[in-house]
Chain A
């Protein structure tokens, strides 16, 4: 069965520290990969996405992620975190449906990041 694993459930960092959140997926077909962020009291927002091409993708707010096909990974990075980055981060992969044009997202369980000022 398709799945997404996020190994770090809780991460605590000080401001200016570097961040790397792990994401691994198990799906043998063509994948589209996403990182979403959920700030406290807000809804899921797209941070970045990978469909094809350059495996290093840049998103909003200084985040980037690298797709490594051989490792089935899509890790999220940020060189220097800020207090405002405190949020829950979800990795997701699309799985194509049997009907053309249909798909579903498979989400990881999320990583809660707390940044200390």
Chain B
């Protein structure tokens, strides 16, 4: 049973560029959440997707957007990258109405 997978593993971008990160949820899961984990910090909630809609959003600017596909996989897009966007981006999947989330290994984004 495959767990949560994320791609790419590492990414280096330049300020002002745009980036897309991808996540495949654990088999059977229908809900995907995204988190940003800066160095030395705990994960910060970005948003949650269910039924291809954004259901919940954290305190992140509109530069952060997402998408969920019919197969429940998801993308996180970040526009106009800033140096401060450098972080580990985590995807977590779950079943709606189930509070237990399963986390992927993350994508390490470095903005130079």
Contact = CB atoms under 8 A, between A and B. Distances in A.
B96 to A, nearest CB: 5
Interface string A45-66: 1100101000000000000000
Contacts, number: 65
Nearest to B98: A101
Contacts of A42: 105
Interface residues of A, number: 28
Contacts of A51: 99
Interface in B59-112: 90, 92, 96-97, 99-106
B68 to A, nearest CB: 13
Contact of A105 (B40, B43, B96, B97): B43
A44 B45 CA distance: 14
B39 to A, nearest CB: 11
Interface stretch (B12-20, B21-29, B50-58): B50-58
A83 interface: no
Of the listed residues B42, B43, B92, B102, the one surrounded by the most CB atoms of chain A closer than 10 A to its CB is B42
Interface of A: 4, 6, 32, 34, 36, 42-46, 49, 51, 90, 92, 94, 97-99, 101-110
Given A92-B42, A104-B56, 8 more contacts: A32-B99, A45-B103, A98-B56, A101-B55, A102-B48, A103-B99, A104-B45, A109-B40
23 contacts: A4-B42, A6-B42, A42-B105, A44-B90, A44-B103, A46-B100, A46-B102, A90-B42, A90-B43, A94-B99, A99-B56, A101-B50, A101-B55, A101-B97, A102-B55, A103-B48, A103-B56, A104-B45, A105-B33, A107-B44, A109-B40, A109-B42, A110-B42
